Amino acid sequence: MATGLTLKELSKKEDLFTHGHRMCAGCGAPTIVKMALMATEYPVIAANATGCLEVSSCISEYTAWKIPWIHTAFENAAATLSGVETMYRSLKKQGKIDKEVKFIAFGGDGGTYDIGFQSLSGAMERGHDMIYICYDNGAYMNTGIQRSSATPLGADTTTCPAGSCVPGKLRPRKNLTKIMAEHNIPFAAQASPSHWMDLMKKVKKAHEMPGAKFINIISPCNRGWRSKTNDAITLARTAVNTCYWPLYEIENGVTKITFTPKEKLPVVDFLKPQGRFKHLFEQGNEWLLKAMQEEVDREWAKLQAAEKCGC
């Protein structure tokens, strides 16, 4: 199906995730959802894990979703959507439905990296025809900024607060995008709302490939990141330009970096504007900044090597 991913064409499209939702001002998630839903012409059915996006977008008799939408619980958006998709397949096989329908699950990092990890892994392994989009803001933001396995090294959260003895989170993030790619799914990718064309192209491409697809999207959260309300897109761009959040895709096992920064910025450029990393710039915590830069460099080098070797 022809989709013009140009601003001109996109400006004519209806928002399928509308105004009236109650997400915080400056949250990255609604922008990501809008972009993802705009990226295809196919009818889409969405599932949503419990979290900020879910509790703020469908309350009592109001909904911001103009498409069929289902939320059941926190840890099971992938399993729930796999049920919806299986019913669709069953009815299609029996000749009871003939439309082409696409399926997207949205979950935050808590619902995806942590409590929903098994359910996601199961759905990816089974190969349901769906995209799972994680909007990764690096902590349990809905319950008030608790540490998740997506929380970056050194970050101050309410369950690993930076104190006089413990300088925030002491473990690096889990590399979920790679773990999902290792499920031998046709498409796993990372995207950022700062690079909207790249994001939408990935969603569009994923929809057109049969099977289970996973897209991890960085989603700035000014409440949890302790950053300025109007900085979401700027911070997402800095995450990309520092290679903290590289943009890449793994299509049928082949890695491709979809955006290489002209100049790879030091990771401190990403950390400095965020209050959750404030303590890293205090005396005695230099080692954490160093460890953070080393982690980013190491992962970026591995990614470049993977692209180079065609794996």
Q: What are the tokens at 227?
A: 């950053």
Contact 147, 258 (CB under 8 A): no
Q: Closest approach of Cβ 185 to other proteins, in Å?
A: 15
CA distance 180 to 118: 11
Q: Closest approach of Cβ 276 to other proteins, in Å?
A: 27
Q: What are the tokens at 267?
A: 């990771």
For other proteins, which is the closer residue by CB, 16 or 250?
16
What is the sign, positive or negative, of the torsion defined by CA atoms of 28, 29, 35, 38?
A: negative
For other proteins, which is the closer residue by CB, 55 or 197?
55
Residue labelled with tokens 């897109």: 233
131 by DSSP, 3-state: which? strand
Q: Closest approach of Cβ 95 to other proteins, in Å?
A: 10
Q: Closest approach of Cβ 49 to other proteins, in Å?
A: 11
CA distance 75 to 42: 27
Residues 6+ apart with CB under 8 A from 166: 160
For other proteins, which is the closer residue by CB, 78 or 232?
78
For other proteins, which is the closer residue by CB, 73 or 233?
73
CA distance 131 to 134: 10
Q: Closest approach of Cβ 73 to other proteins, in Å?
A: 6
Nearest to 161 by CA among 248, 113, 224: 224
Q: Closest approach of Cβ 214 to other proteins, in Å?
A: 16
For other proteins, which is the closer residue by CB, 108 or 154?
108
For other proteins, which is the closer residue by CB, 48 or 241?
48
Strands of 55-129, DSSP E: 58-59, 62-63, 69-71, 102-108
Residue numbers at the binding site for other proteins (CB under 8 A): 43, 45, 47-48, 54-55, 58-61, 63, 65-73, 75-76, 79-91, 93-94, 97, 99, 101, 118-119, 121-123, 125-126
